[in-house]
Amino acid sequence: MQDGTVIEITGLRTQFGIQVIHEDLDFSVARGEVMGVVGGSGTGKSVLLRSVIGLIRPAAGRIVVLGHDMTALPPDAVRALQRRWGVLFQDGALFSSLTVAQNIEAPMKEHTRMSRRLRRDMIDVKISLAGLPPEAANKFPSELSGGMRKRAGLARALALDPEILFLDEPTAGLDPIGAAKFDRLVRGLQRALGLSVLVVTHDLDSLHAVCDRVSVLIDKRVKVGTIESLMREPDPWIQEYFRGPRGRAAQAAAGHGAGTGNG
């Protein structure tokens, strides 16, 4: 594994029954990078993320995360490795019967031997990092707005001081103002904490705002580059995605001139 690479995938094949989602896919994420993942419906964006974090076992290939081959590790070693990253799923995946504080505390209790007092102090820190008000700690997910639930899920993803942050459609369901605020929050956290981030999204504004490079899933494989370089790709789907009306609007909103790159 090359120095500075936190995720290295080679020859990945994922399939469900006879349906092949990825075939001979190669993919990598550099340390400290924000990598976006996009693609049309059915291209396996979330499948790729779930494969990396060990929720889906590939049919073939290697997935090396933080220097460890996920496909060869025994379950105990996978569990130990999983404490080195945090995941925000699309719906937040919060435990509905637990308060925000209890949701954030759950991975601390599972993976560490922190005292209860230290856990409470750390919960306050994570709530603050996620941009939530202190009083959100004692609320249940059902009492939160969609944006606050996203932030609560982010606070839980940060609970163990991860090296990698995985985000699955983090701005889905948010209004444009809320989505822009969440983008700024993610980018600020990445820079402040030195995180490596893999974000699955369909949000062009988010790609411009937070991503260093973008991976486009197409024809069961992946094309990787900056937005600028991808816009030069001849593939019709890529052209329509980045140069269509929404792509042009996102580019203008990001303050780019014609043909310029990522944010």
The predicted structure's pLDDT at residue 3: 61
The predicted structure's pLDDT at residue 15: 94
Q: Is the pLDDT of residue 257 over 50?
A: no
Write the pLDDT tens digit of every residue in 137-170: 999 999 999 899 999 999 999 999 999 999 999 9
Listed range (48-52, 95-99, 221-225, 252-256) with the worst mean pLDDT: 252-256
Query: Furthest-apart CA pair in the chain: how many Å?
Result: 57
**C-alpha distance from residue 144 to each of 139, 150, 153 (Å):** 7, 9, 11
The predicted structure's pLDDT at residue 212: 96
Q: What is the mean pLDDT of residues 116-132?
A: 95
**Nearest CA among 125, 76, 131, 81 for reference residue 104:** 125
Instruction: Concatenate the DSSP letters of all residues of the chain into one string.
Output: --TTEEEEEEEEEEEETTEEEEEEEEEEEETT-EEEEEE-TTS-HHHHHHHHTTSS--SEEEEEETTEETTT--HHHHHHHHTTEEEE-TT----TTS-HHHHHHHHHHHH----HHHHHHHHHHHHHHTT--GGGGG--GGGS-HHHHHHHHHHHHTTT--SEEEEESTTTT--HHHHHHHHHHHHHHHHHHT-EEEEE---HHHHHHH-SEEEEEETTEEEEE-HHHHTT---HHHHHHHHSHHHHHHHHHTTPPTT----
The predicted structure's pLDDT at residue 260: 38
Residue positions counted in the chain: 263
For residue 259, what pLDDT band results from cuts at 50, 70 and 90? very low
Instruction: Measure the CA–CA gap between 137 and 117, rounded to whole angstroms.
Output: 15
Q: Is the pLDDT of residue 2 over 70?
A: no
Instruction: Measure the CA–CA gap between 7 and 27, rounded to whole angstroms.
Output: 8
Q: Is the pLDDT of residue 8 over 80?
A: yes
The predicted structure's pLDDT at residue 249: 67
The predicted structure's pLDDT at residue 43: 93
CB 32 within 8 A of CB 196: yes
What single letter denotes the amino acid at residue 54?
G
Write the pLDDT tens digit of every residue in 57-98: 999 999 999 999 998 889 889 888 989 999 998 776 899 999
**C-alpha distance from residue 66 to each of 36, 110, 240 (Å):** 19, 21, 35
CB 211 within 8 A of CB 187: no
